A and B are shown apart, each in its own frame.
Chain A
Amino acid sequence: MADTILQGEKITRVFRQGKAETKVLDGIDIKIFEKDFTVIMGPSGAGKSTLLYSLSGMDQISRGRVLYRDQEISGLSENRMARLRAEEFGFVFQQTHLVSNLTLLENVLVAGYVSKKDSAEKVKERAANLLRQMDVEEAKDRLSSQVSGGEAQRAAIARAMIGKPGLLFADEPTGALNQANTREVLGLLTDLNRKGQSILMVTHDLQAAARGNRILYLEDGKVCDELALKPYNEMEEKQRERDVSQWLSRLRW
């Protein structure tokens, strides 16, 4: 079995509004393994994104703890958490969330500069390579408002990858894309995973979920079930999707 890269213990997240309390995550124990493409699925309001952001330190947890490579990260100071995000984590969101007044290239460069892992020259070189790899090289000097959703999302993936993250978090990365762009983005994520990139992705899209090798099903703030799959293979795509679909049917999704 692969090493654990991220581990959550008894993760509880309670939202309070006045005296009313809503428990979104209810003492979840979870492990994410190195080089896995882990997918979290579940019905709307199950707490998928909340779990993703709790594990990634983007959101605070009410109880429990999170360990990244055996180091507790829940409760880290703001600055240390920022460093961790810059050096070890990459994020891809549903709404591409590129900074609107930076070009695609600059969005990638900023993240590279902030990570401080490489010299500026190396960051530039790597950014150019990533954008080429993501097939958005021609649009690199455009603003996010001047490119298609697919191009923007591919640039967002390049941005997430510029700091050579240990773990890539993706929150519904294809949720706002059309079919063609969805396939392109999923292809990129799959390629990255094949090259050894650990990925934790939240999705409610069956086609996207089928790209993972491990699918966790979340309901009412708890992990209810888990499906293990072989690493993705294009030849078996339809079969994988059917397997996932059947599994989800059993869970009454």
Chain B
Amino acid sequence: MLENQIMIRAGMKRHKGSYIGIGILLFLTALSLTTVLMIALVGNSYIREEMERAGFGDLTAWASDVPDMEFLLESIREQEGVEGAEVQELVFSEYEANGMESDSEGQMIPWNSQGSEASFGDRYRFFQNNLSGYAKAPEEIREDEVYVSPSMKSMMDLEPGDTITFPIARGGRKLSLTVAGYYEDPFMGSSMIGMKGFLIAGKTYEQICSVIEETGMDALARDGGMIHIETKSGMNASEMNRELTENTPLSMYTEFIHSADTIAGFMAILQNAFCAIMAAFAVVLLGVAMAVMGHSISGLVEQEWKNFGILKTLGFTGRKLSGQLLVQYGGAMGVGIILGMLLAVPMAGMVSRMTVTTTGVLLPVRFPLLPCVGIFAILLLVPAGFCILRLRKIRKITPMAAIRGESDRVSVSGTTFFRNGLRAKGLTFHLALRQVLTGRRRYASACLVAALLVFFASLAGRMNSWLGTDGKGMMDAFNPADLDLGVQVMGKLPVEEMEQMVLSYTDIIDSYLLAMPSISVNGTNYTANVITEPERFHISRGQTSREADQVVLTEALAADLGADVGDSVTIRGNKGSREFTVSGIYHCANDMGANLGMSREGYLSIGEDDSRLWCYHYFLEDVSQKQAITEALEQAYGGDVHVHENSWPGLFGIISAMHLMILVLYGMSAVFICIVTGMAGTKILDAERKDMGIYKSIGCSVRMLRISFAFRFGLVAAAGAVIGTMAAIGFTDPVVSTVMRLAGISNFASGNTLGSVLLPGGIVILLFFGLAWLLSGRIRKEDMNVLTAES
């Protein structure tokens, strides 16, 4: 027992560099994996808990222009599957802040602190202005104040003190409110959700309602409510939706209706997608850590070969020696994993605070004990098992063979290959190549690590290039059809007049109309993308809905409905219902991909036409005029026109989060490369001290030896980069598409620009080369006494 202690202590001391390296790798792996797990698990459960606490029910319908809300509520409550229903009053209105116009209508919700059921006083939690934590709820919201979701900061750069303007009615009847602070909205807070809630004072709400009533047809805002419906157990939201559509007048007033699951999905979509990517990265890191550990073990065994022989002559068995090494590696891994998991707690808190402006909620920091124990076990047992396999060779050592120096050091055989292998020209490179080819095992881990990291960096890079600096990839994924500019004309403004203004800036190359009414498919509400030119849909399978009795579904909706191309679905609009044939599958990530597309003729067979329904989508000759046209239209027609581009404000928050995540991935990769090069390089330099002395003795300069050493890692990284790049070309799209489907994006296809293909590999090669060069500074200090007879 005591001998084990001495040996383990001595081993830890002698190879502390390797153990620290392994510890750091496992630390980073555990840190990222635990952080991701905490955010993913806590994120989903917290949102559901908050929705439940706030009493949002199992199904929520957004209704407007309801003549008798009490009657509607009663009719809902009378349904068999309904446990209860209550309404949260609100006003729908467009809004503008910091020079940006809203893409979707905002919902002004009256709030007071008294906590009565009507005002839902304790429904919401309020943030400190710096968003670092919660603050006490205000005593009251003043009439000129508004509280907004933190995601408004990333969407419109809204901060306390800024002003939001709501056009309530024509004739300049605007309401300007000052942002007093942020509140947590577990219902619509994420920047992935276009519609946003604004908490206002009860009196302000009443004033707005008066203006709406007063102005009648000239009102731009609409009063309405969120009807939260609690279902009886056993009743699912889809069945409930169907029951309500069939037996109550709810669908006549419904803007949209979503189940709690759908809303929670919307809310958690970003963290789920990012967590999936980060979890995949953490798995890659584990693979890298194991590759490095394999190399470390080989190097250590090679270095200690003779000592193992000596120890065996003293009575140590191979099992005992491997056990001692296992304890040393296990100790390093265990410490790294535990520290990583412990640090994940503040890290998750930090990530939560950093992402609150995108997710809209401040995720609590909870340590999910059981899953974390599972992670600990996986992170410890998988590498430990690998370690045991690699340490088996110690058992094969016979004492005298080891003492005589018959080690398992890199042995090279065969003669043909080596004949005339060296060239005078490029000698430095040729020597490096020879070292790599003859010492393949020593460099295998570096090659594997390079391949894995290049694969992941390429994957991240290709996602980045798909996203683009302006988020075009994401925008295209969310739009059913391309456009340069969309203009929705409301009120009395003639379309011709609006178009004349557009034409005064640039020619219109092409145009089409798009409407997004709510319809129900087989009894469940969805949004329809109704288009005048169905061939503009992004079809991935089958054909577009050219005929009036055809529709196209997204992959997600097709899966929900269990329908495929050629099947029939029953669609109900506000005029009637009929059967449509699914002519194809298209992609549009709106509503998490649960939507359908149809022609104008098709929609008009089941829905009422309304000029305010249609948005005019234009392709402009001079796209750079978009901004000027938008400003001119808004200035001239104010609330009568809604102009939008191929974008929405929340997109930029998502793009920032995505770019931040990619930066984190690159940063982690760089750290791993540093550690891998450091560990592998040190071992190789240790093993080649004599060779370095020999080269020096024949006149090789230190510079030449250093370059040659760096070349080796460059060559190995290049081999890894080729493998990683090929893997990225082959697997990026299927892997990322799987993750993107969580967000309803089914058409991920990364770009193949020369830069995106070659850059990650190039960076990794340069990093390996550069770090190896730095590390090789040791060669300068290598003493040639290593060659002396007396040494």
Contacts and interface: CB of A to CB of B under 8 A. Distances in A.
Point out which of A53, A83, A85, A100 has the most chain B C-beta atoms below 10 A from its C-beta. Answer: A100
A101 B789 contact: no
A102 B417 CA distance: 11
Given A93-B789, A109-B422, A110-B422, A101 B434 contact: yes
Interface string A32-46: 000000000000110
Given A100-B691, A120-B423, A110 B698 contact: yes
A49 B422 contact: no
A91 B785 contact: no
A16 to B, nearest CB: 14
Contacts of A98: 694
A163 B789 contact: no
Contact of A97 (B415, B439, B690): B690
Nearest to B785: A59
A114 B698 contact: yes
Contacts of A86: 698-700
Interface in B762-791: 780, 783-785, 787-790
Interface in A26-78: 44-45, 49-50, 53, 58-59, 78
A53 B788 contact: yes
Contacts of A113: 422, 424, 427
B5 interface: no
Nearest to A53: B788
Nearest to A119: B424
B556 to A, nearest CB: 58
Interface string A140-176: 0111011000000000000100010000000110010
A2 B720 CA distance: 59
Given A93-B787, A202-B789, A85 B419 contact: no
Contacts of A159: 698
B700 A82 contact: yes
A106 interface: yes
B396 interface: no
A103 B699 contact: no
A193 interface: no
Contacts of B425: 120
Interface string B91-112: 0000000000000000000000
B697 interface: yes
A202 B789 CA distance: 10
Nearest to B780: A78
Interface residues of A, number: 49
A79 interface: yes
A219 interface: no
Q: How large is the interface on B (under 10, 10 to 19, 20 to 34, 35 or more residues)?
A: 35 or more
Contacts of A106: 418, 421-422, 434
A44 B788 CA distance: 13
A102 B702 contact: no
Interface in A115-154: 115, 119-120, 123, 141-143, 145-146
The interface centre, meaning the residue of B438, B694, B696 with most chain A CB atoms within 10 A of its CB, is B694
A65 to B, nearest CB: 19
Contact of B785 (A53, A79, A145): A53
Contact of B415 (A83, A95, A123, A142): A142
A110 B426 CA distance: 11
B693 interface: yes
A102 B789 CA distance: 22
B754 interface: no
A120 B694 contact: no
Contact of A58 (B434, B704, B784): B784
A230 B28 CA distance: 72
* Residue of A59, A82, A145 ringed by the most chain B CB atoms within 10 A: A82
Contacts of B424: 109, 113, 119-120, 123
Contacts of B696: 58, 82, 85
Interface string B355-387: 000000000000000000000000000000000
B167 to A, nearest CB: 77
A85 B697 contact: yes
A122 B424 CA distance: 11
A19 to B, nearest CB: 21
A223 interface: no
Contacts, number: 124
B694 A163 contact: no
B319 interface: no
A139 to B, nearest CB: 10
B691 A53 contact: no
A120 to B, nearest CB: 4
A194 B502 CA distance: 100
B128 interface: no
B435 interface: yes
B581 to A, nearest CB: 70
A144 B439 CA distance: 16
B691 A82 contact: no
A97 B690 CA distance: 8
Question: Which of A85, A110, A145 is packed against the most chain B CB atoms within 10 Å?
Answer: A110
B416 to A, nearest CB: 8
B789 A94 contact: yes
Nearest to A175: B789
A97 B431 contact: no
A229 interface: no
Nearest to B414: A143
A59 B699 contact: no
A215 interface: no
Interface in B38-74: none
Interface string B690-718: 11011111111111100000000000000
Contacts of A172: 789
A49 B789 contact: yes
A87 B700 CA distance: 11
Nearest to B421: A106
B635 interface: no
Contacts of B690: 97
Nearest to A94: B789
A85 B784 CA distance: 13
A208 interface: no
A99 B691 contact: yes
B411 interface: yes
A111 interface: yes
Interface in A7-39: none
Interface string B402-438: 0000000011110110110111110100010011001
Contacts of B427: 110, 113-114
Contacts of B421: 103, 106
Nearest to B415: A141
Interface string B671-705: 00000000000000000001101111111111110
A111 B697 CA distance: 9
Contact of B412 (A84, A119, A143): A143
Nearest to B695: A99
B689 to A, nearest CB: 12
Contacts of B704: 114
Contacts of A141: 415-416, 418-419
A58 B695 contact: no
Nearest to B690: A97
A143 B691 contact: no
Contact of A49 (B415, B435, B790): B790
B701 A101 contact: no
Contacts of A175: 789
A145 B411 contact: yes
Contacts of B439: 101
Interface of B: 410-413, 415-416, 418-419, 421-425, 427, 431, 434-435, 438-439, 690-691, 693-704, 780, 783-785, 787-790
Q: Which 7 A-B pairs have the closest CB atoms?
A: A86-B699, A120-B424, A101-B438, A94-B789, A82-B701, A172-B789, A111-B698
8 contacts: A58-B785, A83-B699, A106-B434, A110-B431, A111-B699, A141-B418, A142-B415, A171-B789
Given A59-B784, A99-B694, 7 more contacts: A53-B784, A82-B699, A82-B701, A84-B699, A85-B696, A93-B787, A146-B415
